[in-house]
Amino acid sequence: MATKLNQIHEGKAKKVFATNDPTALIHEFKDDATAFDGKKKGQILGKGSVNAQISAALFRLLEDHGVKTHFRELLDDRNMLTDKLNMLAVEVVVRNVAAGSLAKRIGYEEGIKLKKPIVEFYYKRDDLGDPIINEDHIYELGIATESQISEIRNTGLKVNNILKSFFDELGLTLVDFKLEFGLKDGQLKLGDEISPDTCRLWDKETGEKMDKDRFRRDLGRVEDAYQEVLSRVKGITKVGGKF
């Protein structure tokens, strides 16, 4: 049984703890919420518990489809045991529908379905504002090798296919999502979390936003949306309609 030891990192959404196993970490999911590079801050009641449970379910789903992740087990409703990874300083965003920054950058109306998924990379540097970069930049910065970059891109698209199909069955459109990767013994693994914090999810029937955009845009009923996504993932409620 893993024992939580000293805290080694605290991010916007999670605290990370060392354990008595040097190859493992415990991620404690927080209720804190931030947006716009930390300029907007608040709390979403129960968010940590919801995101931990959704992430665990989605990591299990991906593992079942051959995607290597850092997930080991969910210790309770907000503490997750994971492999200790050497995280890469890049975020991978896969987009299926124009929304958020992409819609603004290319002049699309939000909601336009893209001809094919678009993969974007962002440099994880708070002091630079996490700028968008390309594959050549990733190689130049020494973040990953050319083969690792290719694997990251291909894995992102594979994850997209799996999650799009899964969420479609739950009555949700997977608009876009963010992934982070790390290395363990030279093997690339998916890390961080997959949740309404890191995915845009829209109800297929109503078009209602079921993710952190409700917090970003002051749409209200944020907790209800997160709980509804969890309920659908766990198969508790019927899909479609008002949440």
Residues β-bridged to residue 126: none
Which superfamily, per CATH, for 4-83?
Phosphorylase Kinase; domain 1 (3.30.200.20)
- Of 26-40, 69-83, 99-113, 126-140, which gets the smallest average pLDDT? 26-40
Average pLDDT over residues 28-50: 88
Task: Tell which CATH architecture fits domain 86-221.
Answer: 2-Layer Sandwich (3.30)
Q: List b or e across 199-227, with b for residues whose CB sees 16 or more CB atoms inside 10 angstroms.
A: bbbbbbeeebbbbbbbbbeeeeebbebbb
Residue 218: partners with Cβ closer than 8 Å, 6 or more residues away? none
pLDDT band at 243 (very low <50, low <70, confident <90, very high): very low
Res 238 pLDDT > 60:
no
Q: What tens digit of pLDDT does each residue of 199-231 get?
A: 999 999 999 999 999 999 999 999 999 999 999
pLDDT band at 33 (very low <50, low <70, confident <90, very high): confident
Closest to 200 (Cα-Cα) out of 96, 106, 104, 121: 96
Res 40 pLDDT > 60:
yes
Domain boundaries, the chain: 4-83, 86-221
Q: What tens digit of pLDDT does each residue of 42-75 get?
A: 989 999 999 999 999 999 999 999 999 999 999 9
Closest to 122 (Cα-Cα) out of 114, 130, 113: 130
